[in-house]
Chain A
């Protein structure tokens, strides 16, 4: 190879390689039916939101959701196949901050009434999702956890979670935690201990940093996320 050719080759390599590196997309999540995982950034964002929720970062999760659905509170049912998933994440983010989460214009948390309104939205949303996905322990566990946050729905929460637990179908550590607290409040000490054992086993890795474990920031604005 003469010098001229070498220089040309070197120039080409210097030009093409950085371009190729820059053009590398992110690693696909999986194969099979998850085509959308690779091509739809919204799916990736929701996936990230779920990761944040699981990791005890409900506010970060909510932020991700609001990027995808800024008007999620008024979004029509069926308007997007991703909507139920997004609603579930936001609802659980609200539940895990005890309603102390401000998101966009629709979710305020300055007053107790606003926080309660947030929780009521979360419960209503999870009820609808549970109704749409009948007999789904994962959704029912979420609903049970949400119901446990409102005094008037705690008996229902206990019934929902108790029924699941009897069949070993509570699907989250937080679900067991809520059940443990509900049982304790109902005077069921043995049940409390049993649920706590399950909670501790499931929460071993990602011990929740939610409101139940660690009181949410006291300042009303601490949960604010901007979209």
Chain B
């Protein structure tokens, strides 16, 4: 059965009027992240090699046809005709250590991943051992497979990591996504899954890097045509969407409210992985073609063998109508995520121990620790990883914090060094994460914690107060 009123096929990145109209409200543009940008140090991005500036088409919205969560500060001119190198993309997937978080890389593409040894590759590869796989480790804790000697310790860890165990598998990515969407999302990731605490981290990718990775994940992007569904199909699809229970897991930000369903809350507890990983379908029209959505709705497992979305008994017509709703529902412009107000510096004494327990040794040290102490590699934020150069930053110990981090030239600098506006560097990184969450990416500084929710106002206040009080060891 043909989809209702299929529009002429256009490339996702082509400047078609309909696309541009819907894309014009998009909040998500693409930020350039220089290749040399430091992982957490607020380094200034270098100019992006390979950025296309000639004969390019500025497309604002591969990330969401009708607006993502927020406005983005930096637009990139995409050149849809720019050649992509999927083989290089495969190497980048390994170099960027996507397997530290994502499963399913071996079946993500039709293009094989490089076999080791490859000179350029570092640290974890596609068979990342669990001690380098963030979410396997968390899952092991939650499943009781982690050897902790005391039940109370495990219970405490479980509470901490409950919302940090799920990451979408990339299995079958080549059958699901539009290449342009992936390219844009890699360059300017945002909160795609409203109930999931982690988000795709801002990696140090050039436009060419993102293009090549996208080409690896979606080698064949030819048969993915947007459609303009009939209003009637959209209306009926909306009814079916609610009737069939889709609203139990999915939200569509900007759509008219449903009678049922619950608002999504980031880091929600007590929900299943399927619910937690359910994406905001606002972006579905940009992520997938109409045909793929129909196929996915009917039988997710046929596209992604480890799909968590349940198979719902639907006729072809019903699936088509639901897909019509997903791609055709009129969506209100997205509102930027509001940043909670910062709290004033505390008058009371804030000790290092308090900051350590609440922030440094709860969050930061997972990536910024010392290899000699953790008997590991010190984490990507110290010895290098996720494609970042080693920063030599150890936030697991007081003397490590005082040791500062390495800049792009390999020179040491204090994490308390004042930025241009006087903000201590480490605090600026933490504040930048808030700004990123609100949709504004500053290419000059990378928000921390990478790919995780910004610190709460209370925790930020604690760090800021400790620094203001002289960042002393007591």
Binding site for B on A (CB under 8 A): 24-28, 30-36, 38-40, 43, 81-82, 84-85, 135-138, 141, 167-173, 201-202, 204-206
Taking a contact as CB atoms under 8 Å apart, the answer to whether A25 and B414 are in contact is no
Provide the bound-state CA to CA distance between A32 and B160, in Å: 11
Inter-chain CA distance A33–B411, complex, in Å, is: 27
How far, in whole Å, are A40 and B149 apart by their CA atoms in the complex? 11
Q: List, in ascending order, chain B residues with CB within 8 A of A138's CB.
A: 394, 399-400, 402-403
- Select one of A81, A84, A170, A205 contacting B473, CB under 8 A: A205
Complex: chain B residue closest to A40, CB-CB: B375
Given contacts A33-B379, A167-B414, A171-B399, contact A28 B160 (CB under 8 A): no
**In the complex, B120 has a CB within 8 A of chain A:** no
Is A204 a contact partner of B399 (Cβ separation < 8 A)?
no
Interface residues in B384-434 (C-beta closer than 8 Å to A) = 392, 394, 398-400, 402-404, 406, 410-414, 416-417
Give bound CA distance, A196 to B404, whole Å. Answer: 21
B141 within 8 A of A: yes
Q: Interface residue count for B (Cβ, 8 Å)?
A: 42
With A135-B392, A138-B399, A170-B402 in contact, is A31–B157 under 8 Å at CB? yes
Decide if A85 touches B361 in the complex (CB within 8 Å).
no
Q: How far is the CA of A168 from the CA of B413 in the complex (A)?
A: 8
A31 with B404: CB separation less than 8 A: no
Q: Which residues of B contact A81 (CB under 8 A)?
A: 372, 375
The answer to whether B147 touches A167 (Cβ under 8 A) is no
Residues of B within 8 A of A (CB): 131, 137, 141, 147-150, 152-153, 157, 160-161, 361, 365-366, 369, 372-376, 379, 392, 394, 398-400, 402-404, 406, 410-414, 416-417, 470, 472-474
Q: Give the nearest-CB partner of B404 in chain A.
A: A169
Query: How many angstroms between the C-alpha atoms of A85 and B392 in the bound complex?
Result: 17
Q: Is the CB of A33 within 8 A of B369?
A: yes
| Extra A-B contacts (8), CB below 8 Å, given A39-B147, A173-B473, A202-B473 | A26-B150, A27-B150, A31-B161, A35-B375, A137-B403, A137-B404, A167-B412, A201-B470
Q: Is B375 a contact of A171 with CB atoms below 8 Å?
A: no
Q: Which residues of A contact B375 (CB under 8 A)?
A: 33-36, 40, 43, 81-82
For B473, the chain A residues whose CB sits under 8 A away are 173, 202, 205-206
Q: Which residues of B contact A31 (CB under 8 A)?
A: 141, 148, 153, 157, 160-161
Known A28-B149, A202-B472; contact A169-B402, beta-carbon cutoff 8 A = yes
Residues on A with beta carbons closer than 8 Å to the beta carbon of B399: 138, 141, 171-172
Closest 8 CB pairs of A and B: A205-B474, A25-B149, A33-B374, A171-B399, A137-B403, A171-B402, A33-B376, A36-B375
Find out whether the CB atom of A171 lies under 8 angstroms from the CB atom of B403. yes
Q: Which listed residue, A27, A84, A136, A169, touches B153 by the CB 8 Å rule?
A: A27
Cα–Cα, bound, A36→B470 (Å): 33
- Bound Cα distance from A30 to B146, whole angstroms: 13
Q: Is the CB of B404 within 8 A of A167?
A: yes
Q: Are A36 and B148 in contact (CB under 8 A)?
A: no
CB-nearest residue of chain B relative to A47? B373
